[in-house]
Amino acid sequence: MATTQAAAVAQNAPTKNPTLLAWVAKMAAMTQPDRIVWCDGSEAEKKRMTEEAVKDGTLIPLNQEKRPGCYLHRSNPNDVARVEHLTFICTPNKTDAGPTNNWMEPDEAYTKLGQLFEGCMKGRTMYVVPYAMGPLGSPFTKIGVELTDSNYVVLNMRIMTRMGKAVLDLLGDSDDFNRGLHSTGDVNPDRRYICHFPQDNTIWSFGSGYGGNVLLGKKCLALRIGSYLGREEGWLAEHMLILGVTSPQGETTYVAAAFPSACGKTNFAMLIPPKEYKGWKIETVGDDIAWMRPGPDGRLYAINPEAGYFGVVPGTNYKTNPNAMETIAKDTLFTNVALTPDGDVWWEGKDGEVPEELTDWQGRPWKKGSAEKAAHPNSRFTAPMTNNPVLSGKSNDPMGVPISAIIFGGRRSNTVPLVLQAFNWTHGVFLGATMGSETTAAATGKVGVVRRDPMAMLPFCGYHMGDYLQHWLDMQKSIPQLPKIFQVNWFRQDKNGKFLWPGYGDNMRVLEWIVNRVHGRVPTQETLLGWVPRQDQGLNLQGLDVAPESISEATSIKEDEWKTELKSQEVFFEQLGTKAPEALMLQRKLLMSRLGG
Ligand code: SAT
Ligand code: MN
Residue 1: pLDDT band (50, 70, 90) is very low
Residues 228, 242 within the same domain: no
> Does residue 263 have a pLDDT over 90?
no
Q: How far is the CA of 466 from the centre of ligand 1 (A)?
A: 23
Find the DSSP H helices in 123-193. Answer: 151-160, 165-171
Q: What is the pLDDT of residues 466-516, one digit of tens each?
A: 999 999 999 999 999 999 999 999 999 999 989 999 999 999 999 999 999
Give pLDDT, residue 261: 78
Q: Is 64 a domain residue?
A: no
CATH number of the domain that 330 lies in?
Answer: 2.170.8.10
Q: Which atom of ligand 1 is nearest to the CA of 288?
A: 8
Q: Which atom of ligand 1 is nearest to the CA of 265?
A: 8
Regarding the beta carbon of 288 and ligand 1, being less than 6 Å apart is answered: yes
Residues 405, 523 within the same domain: yes
3-state secondary structure 272-298: CCCCCCCCCEEEEEECCCEEEEECCCC
Question: Could you list the active site residues?
Answer: 263
- Distance between CA atoms of residues 468 and 462, nearest Å: 9
Pick the residue whose CA is nearest to atom 2 on ligand 1: 212
Residues 475, 488 within the same domain: yes
Q: Is 572 a domain residue?
A: no
Residues 401, 279 within the same domain: yes
Pick the residue whose CA is nearest to atom 3 on ligand 1: 212
Q: What is the pLDDT of residues 140-171, one digit of tens each?
A: 999 999 999 999 999 999 999 999 999 999 99
* Residues 307/159, Cβ–Cβ less than 8 Å: yes
Amino acid at 207: G
Domain limits for position 502: 237-308+391-557
DSSP string, 495-548: TTS-BSS--GGGHHHHHHHHHHHHTT-S--EE-SSSEE--SSSSS--TT--S-H
Q: Is 288 a domain residue?
A: yes
CATH number of the domain that 166 lies in?
Answer: 3.40.449.10
Q: How many CB atoms lie within 10 A of CB 233?
A: 8
Residues 6+ apart with CB under 8 A from 597: none
Give pLDDT, residue 444: 56
Residues 210, 359 within the same domain: no
Q: What is the pLDDT of residues 168-202, one digit of tens each?
A: 999 999 999 999 999 999 999 999 999 999 999 99
Q: How many CB atoms lie within 10 A of CB 509?
A: 25
Ligand closest to the CA atom of residue 241:
2
Q: What is the pLDDT of residues 364-386, one digit of tens each?
A: 999 999 999 999 999 999 999 99
Residues 404, 261 within the same domain: yes
- Distance between CA atoms of residues 522 and 296, nearest Å: 29
Distance of CA 220 to the CA centre of its chain: 10
Give the angle 70-76-82 at the CA atoms, nearest 5°.
90
The last residue of one of the domains, among 379, 400, 425, is 379
Residues 368, 444 within the same domain: no
Q: Is 155 a domain residue?
A: yes
**% of the chain at pLDDT higher than 90:** 93
Q: Which atom of ligand 1 is nearest to the CA of 239?
A: 8
- Distance between CA atoms of residues 528 and 594, nearest Å: 6
Residues 501, 444 within the same domain: yes
Q: Is 523 a domain residue?
A: yes
Pick the residue whose CA is nearest to atom 7 on ligand 1: 261
HSE-CB of 75 using CA atoms within 13 angstroms: 29
Domains in the chain, number: 3
400-420 burial, b at 16+ Cβ within 10 Å, e below that, comes to: bbbbbbbbbbbbbbbbbbbbb
The last residue of one of the domains, among 320, 344, 379, is 379
Give pLDDT, residue 438: 81
What 562-570 contacts at long range (C-beta under 8 Å, 24+ apart), as own/partner pairs, is: 562/415, 562/528, 562/529, 562/591, 562/595, 563/595, 564/415, 565/415, 565/436, 566/591, 566/592, 566/595, 568/436, 568/450, 568/452, 569/434, 569/452
Regarding the beta carbon of 217 and ligand 1, being less than 6 Å apart is answered: no
Q: Is 152 a domain residue?
A: yes
> Does residue 520 have a pLDDT over 50?
yes
Residues 349, 477 within the same domain: no
Residues 332, 353 within the same domain: yes
Q: Is 526 a domain residue?
A: yes
* Residues 50/155, Cβ–Cβ less than 8 Å: yes
Look up the pTM and report it.
0.97
- Distance between CA atoms of residues 187 and 123, nearest Å: 17
Regarding the beta carbon of 130 and ligand 1, being less than 6 Å apart is answered: no
DSSP-derived secondary structure letter, 493? B
Q: Is 494 helix (H, G, I), strand (E, B) or coil?
A: coil
Q: Looking at the DSSP assignment, which residues form a beta bridge with residue 114? A: none
Pick the residue whose CA is nearest to atom 8 on ligand 1: 261
Residues 344, 246 within the same domain: no
* Residues 103/114, Cβ–Cβ less than 8 Å: no
Residue 202's nearest CA partner among 84, 26, 83 is: 26
DSSP string, 365-381: EEETT-SS-SS-TT-EE
CATH number of the domain that 433 lies in?
Answer: 3.90.228.20
Q: Is 325 a domain residue?
A: yes
The last residue of one of the domains, among 379, 405, 433, is 379
Residues 244, 112 within the same domain: no
